Amino acid sequence: MKKIYIALFIAVAFSLCIQSISGFKGIKISMPNDAQGIRLKFSPKLSEDQNTQMQNLANFLRFSDKGRENYYGISFFSDIATTWDLYEKLADIDELDFGRNANFMTVSPIIVDEVTQVPPEICLLSNLKKLDLQGTRVSDLPSCVQNLKKLKYLGLRATEFTEISENISKIPNLKTLILDRCPVKELSANVANLKNLEYLELDETHISQLPPQITGMSKLRELHCYSCNFLHTLPTYLAELKNLEILYLTNTHIEALPDEVSRMPSLKELTEDFTSPPENIVNLPNLEEWGHMDEQRLRLAVKIPSLKRLHISSNIKTIPSELGDLHNLQELDIWSENIQEIPESIGALKSLKKTRYWQI
């Protein structure tokens, strides 16, 4: 009977391991203060080069097998893992996140900013879809990243990248690129190669212009330039981005909206804080949201029939009756205690689904 129980226990344990392996899609690691690199045994199933590559990748990710904890998606029953164990488990990883504030699938080295280089072994993760290196001191990626066909998200927030390097520009299916708080001073001609990029975040970088090559990002839907303090003008050729829907320009030195941009049929959301509101914004045929409204901007906003979301700021005292002409308006936020009266015309807003009044 005892042998039967032992056999049953082994069968259940084996089944659980198989289920864990098949469902493993990422890494979540909590590093003890005295964590050491994983000790790997040579595997005859892999060549000498492959064994070395696995060791290098393990060292980069700072795996630890201390206490046989569940660092790989399953628990090991042996004290020392083999390179084949690691090889099998890395094969299915699709997210790798070094972000300090990440909530899921996070690699947390003892000190993130000690990471200064990404080894070429990262390209063994052939199913990788998301790579976030936030807070590291990495300044470039190995050339082999162009072989990561499934990589769609690259997060480089607060790293040491100074440009969109040639290696980044060759990632074939990249859709999201985060460069905020990087010491980027200019966008190189390489940006034209990012044909599939849809989301570009440049917040708090040092860029002084958006180069003509940016029009090569023909699928770009969202462009963030928040707190780009060296950015003084918005180029007219930005209008060539036929799929651009969202544009964030607050806290820059841009003072005007080019007429070409003001006629973009794709632009749905614009956030700016120009010294004077852009009068030509009323020409945008499909604008759905225009940041937070002050008195001057609200005067223009009620002339934009396509608006769906309206956020009224605290310094506004009067809401014009023309608000009732915004027949497509779905959300109305009022952040003010100065408003004395809501116009009766608000009753004509048949599409309105959400109204919030915040007294501040």
Tens digits of residue pLDDT in 313-328: 767 888 899 999 999 9
**Residue burial 291-322, b: 16+ Cβ < 10 Å; e: rest:** bbbeeebbebbbebeebbbbbbbeebeebbee
User: Is position 145 within any domain?
Assistant: no
pLDDT at 255 over 90: yes
pLDDT at 209 over 60: yes
pLDDT at 5 over 50: no
Per-residue pLDDT, averaged over 261-275, amounts to 97
User: Is position 169 within any domain?
Assistant: no
The pLDDT score that the predictor gives to residue 339 is: 79
Per-residue pLDDT, averaged over 275-282, amounts to 96
Per-residue pLDDT, averaged over 150-157, amounts to 96
pLDDT in tens, 158-174: 999 999 999 999 999 99
User: Is position 153 within any domain?
Assistant: no
In the numeric block, the tokens 């100074």 are attached to 162
**Beta partners for 310?**
332
User: Is position 107 within any domain?
Assistant: no
Domain hosting residue 350, numbered range: 293-360
Percent of the chain with pLDDT over 70: 77
Amino acid identity of residue 206, one-letter, is: H
Crossing angle (nearest 10°) for helices 48-61 and 83-90: 70
pLDDT at 79 over 60: no
The pLDDT score that the predictor gives to residue 54 is: 82
User: What is the Cα–Cα distance from 149 to 174, expressed in whole angstroms?
Assistant: 9
The pLDDT score that the predictor gives to residue 197 is: 98
User: Is position 359 within any domain?
Assistant: yes
The pLDDT score that the predictor gives to residue 337 is: 73
pLDDT at 120 over 80: yes
Number of domains in the chain: 1
Nearest to 231 by CA among 289, 190, 273, 194: 273
- Helix ranges, 62-107 (H): 83-90
In the numeric block, the tokens 């841009």 are attached to 254
Percent of the chain with pLDDT over 90: 56
User: Is position 281 within any domain?
Assistant: no
pLDDT at 126 over 80: yes
User: Is position 304 within any domain?
Assistant: yes
pLDDT at 44 over 80: yes
User: Is position 342 within any domain?
Assistant: yes
Per-residue pLDDT, averaged over 177-186, amounts to 96
At 183, is the secondary structure helix, strand, or coil?
coil
Between 61 and 251, the more confident residue is 251
The pLDDT score that the predictor gives to residue 294 is: 87
Q: Residue 352 — very low, low, confident or very high, per pLDDT cuts 50/70/90?
A: very high
Between 202 and 45, the more confident residue is 202
